[in-house]
Every structure is written in C-alpha cells, then in structure tokens.
Amino acid sequence: MTYPRVSLYALMLAAAGIPLYIHLPRFASVNLGLGLGAVGAILLAIRLVDLVQDPLIGWAIDRWPRAQSVFAVTAALGLAVGFPLLFSLAPGPSVTIDLVLILILLFSAYSLGMILLYGRSATLADSPTPRALMTLAAYREVGMLGGVILAAMAPALLAAMGARAQGYPSFGVFLGVLAVATALLTLPIWRRTPLPGDRLSFQGLGQAGALKLLALALVNSLPVAITSTLFLFFVEDRLQLPDRAGPLLILFFLSAGVSVPLWTRIAHAVGPKRTLLIAMPLAILGFIGAAFLAPGNLIGFAIICVASGAALGADMVILPAMFSVVLTRAGLKPSLAFGIWSFAGKLGLALAAFATLPLLERNGFTPGGTNSADALAALNISYAIIPCILKLGALAMVLALPTEDQTQ
C-alpha cells in the first residue's frame, strides 16, 4: 500500500498547488480587487522567503529523520488551516497584508510537504535503484496530476452547485478537509526508516552531476510557469472562450496524467535523456501553434493542450527521478538537495508572475474586460512566444547532459 499512499499525498499537494499558481492571480484581481502588478510583486516577495526557507526545510528533514510523521502532518495541517482563510478573504484596507501572511503559511506548508515527499524518494521506493525510483516517480506524478485535475474542476463544480463567489470559499473548505483526511490515511508511509546519506555540499552536488539538473529544472520550469500563470487569461481573453477554460485546463492535465505511464516505459527502454528529447519538441510545437491561433479556435487549442500536456507529463516524471538517481548514487542526503530543487521550481513561477503580469498591466490588459489589440498581442507574446524560446534553451541543456550510461 506504500505507492497508493504516495499517490494520495501527492494528490493533496497538487490540489493545493493549483489554487496557488493558477487560480490565485484571477482570484486576487477579480475577487479582491488587486492589480496584476501587485499580485506579481507579492508572489516574488514570497519567493524571497522561500530562498531561505526551502533549503532550511530540507536541512531539518535530513537533521531529524525520525520526525517524518511530524513533518508530514504539519504540512497537511498548514494547508488545512490556510486555504479556508485564503478563500474567505474579502476586499478591504488590510487585504494585502492578510493575503501575504496567509500565502506565507500556505507556501511554507506546501514546501514542507513537497520537499519531504521528493526528498524521501529512495526511502519510499521498493529499492534505491534507478528503475524503482522511476516507478515511484510515476506513482507520485500520477497522484500529482490527479490532484491537479481535481483542483481544476472543483471551483466550477462548486459554483454550479450554488456556491457563492465563484465557488472559492467552498473550495477552500474542501481543500482543508482533503488535507486532514490525507494526513490520517498516509501516516504509515512516514514510519519507514530513512536511508542514510552523506552531508550535502555544492562540491558533492557538482561531482554527482546534480547542479546541471538543478539549472535545467529552473530553466525548464519557466515555460510552464508562464503558461500556468496566464492560462485563464489566454483562454478567456485572447481566445475568447470563457466557458471553456475549465474543461481545457482539465484536458491539459488529463493528457499529462495519461502520458506518465507511457513516458515511464519509454524511459525504462531508452533512458531518461532520450525520453526528454522526444517529449520537449511537443511542448515547443504547442507554443508555436498557440501563438497563431485565431479567437474562438476551440479544437486547435484542445489539440495543443493534449500535446503540451503530454510533454509536461514527461517533465514531471523524468527530471525528479533523474535527480533522485544522481543523489542516491552519490550517497548524498536528499532532502536539503530537494529543498534547493523546490526553490528552483518556485523561483521560476515567481519570475514568471513578476515578469509577465506587470508587462500585461503596462500594455493595458484587463482580465475579463475589453482589451486593445496591443494588450492582446502582449498576452500572446507572453503566453506563447517567450515560453517557446525558454523551452528551446531547456532542450539545449538536455542535449548537453552526460550520456545515458552516466545518468541511469
């Protein structure tokens, strides 16, 4: 029952992550009346907290290996408290301060859970071998994608059932209940004895090849971070398909989830590097296609969602598994390393919000409003062209990785 419980814990974390990265910009701008520039600045400021916090969380998990259960429950309870508070916020003079404090709580709990889950990969796997780590990663990422789909659907479903404020307050309570239930059901997996490891250092990371993977993770996170931040805006305002945003988002993540077992089999057969070289061009083609879509082209964007979602599935399962493999082979303590990994990914999300949201605001873009051609062009460039260039950079970094016999 270990792997299904890993999937469940991953589902909880992903269901928590989607509101923070996809729903938050629209919720803060529409429901709380904050400007897009202010939202981008808040997210970047919280990343400065993560700059110190995430490595410290990883260090603490390595320092107190017998406290895994405490860390796992603490993360779940932080989410259980934070989300009802977040989605019960209303406009007012102190809303910005309240939002920042609640987001610090939520991102801290989210970081703790993510670093624990990924840092304990070798402990949770059946054995610390590359094949077992890849199998564990597949279960974990399927759970992640299940949580993403659940969180993408929930607000719209709750609103359709009569929940107020676009379903967000009820959504917050739902996430809180999910977190508490997950903490109880997954407690047994955190009682396994962690595998020992050597003290982490940048020299050790470099010798293991982990620094190259960290740099790749940061660059590769930027395209999906930008598209995640701007997805609702692109579908509702650029494509003028406001009633299709939810189903398209579900299609995107469903495609990612369905693709995970396929990418896992391909990685077992040809190796992780070659698998990424197969998957990444799908994302690049998706960005190019999105840039040239005409308003109202539902079928075209649905095809793009399928292709780019499948490419995301490869990123999610392959890169963390490669990182776990090099850490395990080098005998390094993993949680601090995954603390740095977590920060790299979230830095990408913050940079995406900080760079794109103020850019859209300066070009006169208004979510859900009447927008000029220049405003929509800025949205098109931000959503499709810039991520395409970044993904090409990530592809070049994959080509420069060591050969398969050094990474498997």
Query: CA–CA separation, 109 vs 106, rounded Å?
Result: 5
- What pTM does this model have? 0.75
Q: What's the pLDDT tens digit per position in 269-308?
A: 998 999 999 999 999 999 999 999 999 999 999 999 999 9
The pLDDT value given to residue 199: 66
Cα–Cα distance, 134 to 85 (Å, whole number) = 37
The per-residue pLDDT for 149 is 82
Q: What is the pLDDT of residue 198?
A: 58
Burial of 330 (0-12, 13-18, 19+ CB in 10 A): middle
Confidence (pLDDT) at 408: 41
Pair 229, 36: CB distance under 8 Å? no
- Mind listing the pLDDT tens digit for each residue in 114-164? 999 988 888 888 887 888 888 888 899 889 888 988 887 888 788 888 887
Q: Residue 216's closest CA among 389, 397, 348?
A: 397
* DSSP character string of 113-147: HHHHHHHTHHHHSSSSSHHHHHHHHHHHHHHHHHH
Cα distances (angstroms) measured from residue 50 to each of 17, 47, 225, 349: 15, 5, 16, 12
pLDDT computed for residue 328 by the predictor: 79
On the 0-12 / 13-18 / 19+ scale of CB atoms within 10 A, 377 is middle
Burial class (CB in 10 A: 0-12, 13-18, 19+), 8: buried
CA distances from 30 to 23, 39, 109 (A): 11, 11, 26
Q: Are 349 and 21 in contact (CB under 8 A)?
A: yes
| pLDDT on residue 150 | 86
Domain count, the chain: 1
> Residue 196: what pLDDT?
65
Q: What is the mean pLDDT of each run of 10 residues along the chain (408 residues)?
A: 91 85 77 82 78 84 89 96 92 90 92 90 83 87 86 82 82 94 94 71 73 89 87 91 84 87 90 93 94 95 94 89 82 76 74 81 85 92 94 94 56
pLDDT value at residue 378: 92
Q: Looking at residue 388, what is its pLDDT?
A: 95
- Report the CATH number that the domain containing residue 116 is assigned in CATH: 1.20.1250.20
Element (H, E) at 61: helix 36-63
Q: CA 126, CA 204: separation in Å to the nearest integer?
A: 25
Q: Where in the sequence is the domain holding 308, given as residue range(s)?
A: 2-407
Tell me the per-residue pLDDT of 22-44, one tens digit each, with 9 for 90 and over.
778 778 887 888 887 888 788 77
Cα 66 to its chain centre, rounded Å, is 27
Give the CA diameter of the chain. Answer: 59
Q: Tell me what pLDDT residue 304 has.
A: 95
